[in-house]
A and B are shown apart, each in its own frame.
Chain A
Amino acid sequence: MTDMTVRIGGLTLASPVMPASGTFAEGLARVMDLDRLGALVTKTITRELRDGNPLPRVAEVPGGMLNAIGIPSKGVPCFLRDSLPFYQRWRPPLVVSISAPTAEGFAALAAEISVPGVTAIEANISCPNIEEDGKAFAMQAGSAAAVMRRLRAATSLPLWAKLTPNTGDMAAVALACEDEGADALVVANTILAMSIDLQTFKPRLGNIMGGLSGPAVKPIVLRQVYQCARAVRIPVIGCGGISTALDAAEYMLAGATAVQVGTATFLQPEAMTQVIDGLAQFCAARGIGHVAELTGALKREDTHEADLAWAAPAP
């Protein structure tokens, strides 16, 4: 039997597979056994009460979907009263995703939810929908560092930084988060995108722009996981377009210690358990005793940096 445990900072997870923030909630407990997951990750919560974005909030595109849900939030008291006790009925550790408009707001919220029952905090410094034009703290190393510094001072819980794929400098942002005390990185949130209805000439999202997720993003985010994992020593959690165990294995080979599954759950609510079972089989079939052996096991010939010059021209 394959040992499926992985270590993320100080935490040991029973499996490397967990939900992506915003694609997991109470309702999934009706369809699948949450006890099989490596961790439970909440929808991002904010201190402000929010209604979310105008409709339509989702649109289909080939191989994926766009969403501009916004972050409808009922606030922290509601989370502590209703959601926290609900999730405590299951064994996997609870990771709470938070967001705030300022670094100070992040810190205050982190302090407020550092309560028993919360195992780790995922700082969503990458949500493309809250700030104007999709700007987020994780766009630049400097602003990412500022948030992580305040957060680190505000809580002793393990801190995961969720990065945005929309920055041109993933590795620098990753390093900045590590330097400011992040225990892990989640790579990545959705890719800022849009789509237009050719019958009406209107944008297909009420918010005009939104985040692309699903299989379409996988090759891009896989590359970013690879870049981040090479840049930092802390674990990287891969997230983007994973729907099968083979997708997850690919992410682990690129350097991910664990993975998050998002959009795939909307199509197959048991996608996460299928990924877990499939990963165990993938390892067993190759005589790999411990799933963690996959992490960073990519075999590569040395590339000449110049080979990629056409894709990343000098500024």
Chain B
Amino acid sequence: MRDEAGPQPSMGLRGHSAFQPSAVAEKALIISHEAVNGEYRHMRLACNAVAAGAAPGQFFQLLCPAPPGEAPFLRRPMSVYGADPATGTVEFLYKVTGAGTRGLAMLGVGDQLDILGPLGQGFTLDPAWRHIVAVGRGAGLATLAPLARAARAQGIGVTAILSARRPELVVSEAQFRAQGAEVLAVTESDGTSSPAYVERQLRALTAAGRCDAFFTCGSARLLRLQQDLAREFGLPGQVALEQQMACGLGICFCCVRDFQVEGRTLHKRVCWDGPVFDLLEAVA
């Protein structure tokens, strides 16, 4: 766990004038917002430079408006689906599940949404890698998507295995393809999403020397599978995890999960020590 936290305070007489936040709460302007299928919606917002500088794997805490008859109180964590300092934008891809996301779904272009971020530790890429594999399921695919662009920028090839219940629920496919990634969509309805099938694909990639590291999000089963393979072949990996959050800033300790570190089980905070963790430390 880290001790370091944020900027040094200024020693000037009026310290706050020199204060530089590394995460900002801002009412950002929605510039596009549409349904991508029956369950997921894609939102793009114009935001400040700090937010637009968000890295893959980081997240924001969204202050969702209240849908009729409901009152989401806390902010809701949402992965960065895209962030672009050049255009000053940030994007989210979310599944409508409860009060908070139902509130989000009501918002239209031109409305404002209070976003706090970027937060947490994102993915890290080792420039020595030549090819990585990203395996995700459901909403986890939103978290993995920006990895494609970051990997390409470093000359690292990507194979993405995208899992969902039905083909129309496979999200992020276009984003991976646009960055030149090889994409394999696996679904229940096609009978291709079984761990055995995915395992065969991963073994083939490993044998072909096309897997220097595993990246995963969204499924405990797929996480365990990749942990087994990572151990077997001595490969590194990273997993983005979810947990209910209140503060998102490492303050409240409501988002802890178990991790296995050097033979000991310990608690880490998903919002502060993660949400991206070492693949082998996660307890699936």
Is A269 a contact partner of B254 (Cβ separation < 8 A)?
no
CB contacts (< 8 Å) of A60 on chain B: these are 71-74
Is B253 a contact partner of A267 (Cβ separation < 8 A)?
no
Is B16 a contact partner of A27 (Cβ separation < 8 A)?
no
Determine if B68 is an interface residue (Cβ-Cβ < 8 Å).
no
Determine if B25 is an interface residue (Cβ-Cβ < 8 Å).
yes
CB contacts (< 8 Å) of A77 on chain B: these are none
Please name the residue on chain A nearest to B252 by beta carbon: A69
CB contacts (< 8 Å) of B19 on chain A: these are 32-33, 35
Determine if A182 is an interface residue (Cβ-Cβ < 8 Å).
no
Q: Which residue of the partner chain, among B15, B63, B251, B253, contacts A57 with CB atoms under 8 Å?
A: B253
Distance of B164 from chain A, by nearest CB (Å): 25
Please name the residue on chain B nearest to A22 by beta carbon: B252
Is B256 a contact partner of A55 (Cβ separation < 8 A)?
yes
Which one of B4-12, B78-86, B179-187, B201-209 is at the A interface? B4-12
A86 vs B248: C-alpha distance when bound (angstroms):
20
Is A28 a contact partner of B246 (Cβ separation < 8 A)?
no
Given contacts A26-B5, A64-B73, A65-B73, contact A31 B249 (CB under 8 A): yes
Q: Which residue of the partner chain, among A52, A214, A267, contacts B256 with CB atoms under 8 Å?
A: A52
Is B246 a contact partner of A58 (Cβ separation < 8 A)?
yes
Determine if B22 is an interface residue (Cβ-Cβ < 8 Å).
yes
Q: Chain B interface secondary structure, helix, strand, loop or mixed?
A: loop
Determine if B260 is an interface residue (Cβ-Cβ < 8 Å).
no
Determine if A61 is an interface residue (Cβ-Cβ < 8 Å).
yes
Is A27 a contact partner of B246 (Cβ separation < 8 A)?
no
Distance of B102 from chain A, by nearest CB (Å): 14
Interface footprint category on A:
35 or more
Is B75 a contact partner of A266 (Cβ separation < 8 A)?
yes
Please name the residue on chain A nearest to B117 by beta carbon: A31
CB contacts (< 8 Å) of A32 on chain B: these are 19, 21
Given contacts A61-B73, A86-B3, contact A26 B250 (CB under 8 A): yes
Determine if A51 is an interface residue (Cβ-Cβ < 8 Å).
yes
Determine if A36 is an interface residue (Cβ-Cβ < 8 Å).
yes
Is B254 a contact partner of A33 (Cβ separation < 8 A)?
no
Determine if A168 is an interface residue (Cβ-Cβ < 8 Å).
no
Determine if A29 is an interface residue (Cβ-Cβ < 8 Å).
yes
Please name the residue on chain B nearest to A24 by beta carbon: B251
Chain A, 187-217, contact with B by CB distance < 8 Å: what is the 0/1 string? 0000000000000000000000000001000
Is A58 a contact partner of B6 (Cβ separation < 8 A)?
no
Best-buried of B5, B7, B243, B272 by chain A (most CB within 10 Å): B5
Is A34 a contact partner of B9 (Cβ separation < 8 A)?
yes
Please name the residue on chain B nearest to A32 by beta carbon: B21
A210 vs B230: C-alpha distance when bound (angstroms):
41
Determine if B267 is an interface residue (Cβ-Cβ < 8 Å).
yes
Determine if A270 is an interface residue (Cβ-Cβ < 8 Å).
yes
A245 vs B6: C-alpha distance when bound (angstroms):
27
Is B249 a contact partner of A67 (Cβ separation < 8 A)?
no
CB contacts (< 8 Å) of B272 on chain A: these are 27
A23 vs B252: C-alpha distance when bound (angstroms):
6
Determine if B235 is an interface residue (Cβ-Cβ < 8 Å).
no
Is B256 a contact partner of A67 (Cβ separation < 8 A)?
no
A43 vs B251: C-alpha distance when bound (angstroms):
9
Please name the residue on chain B nearest to A59 by beta carbon: B244
CB contacts (< 8 Å) of A62 on chain B: these are 71, 73
Determine if B247 is an interface residue (Cβ-Cβ < 8 Å).
yes
Is B254 a contact partner of A27 (Cβ separation < 8 A)?
no
CB contacts (< 8 Å) of B6 on chain A: these are 26-27, 29-31
A52 vs B266: C-alpha distance when bound (angstroms):
12
CB contacts (< 8 Å) of B249 on chain A: these are 25, 27-28, 30-31, 269
Please name the residue on chain B nearest to A28 by beta carbon: B249
Within 8 A of A (CB), among B54-110: 63, 71-75
Extra A-B contacts (19), CB below 8 Å, given A65-B73, A65-B246: A22-B251, A23-B251, A27-B6, A30-B5, A30-B23, A31-B6, A31-B24, A33-B15, A34-B9, A35-B15, A52-B267, A60-B72, A60-B74, A62-B73, A67-B254, A91-B15, A214-B73, A265-B247, A270-B25
Question: Can you spell out 30 A-B residue pairs with CB atoms less than 8 angstroms apart?
Answer: A23-B247, A23-B251, A23-B252, A27-B251, A28-B249, A28-B251, A29-B5, A29-B7, A30-B23, A31-B22, A31-B25, A33-B9, A33-B19, A34-B9, A35-B15, A52-B253, A56-B254, A57-B256, A60-B71, A60-B74, A63-B73, A64-B73, A65-B74, A72-B256, A86-B3, A266-B247, A267-B63, A267-B74, A269-B249, A273-B16
> What are the 5 tightest A-B residue pairs by CB atom distance, in nearest-first order?
A27-B249, A30-B6, A27-B250, A35-B15, A26-B5
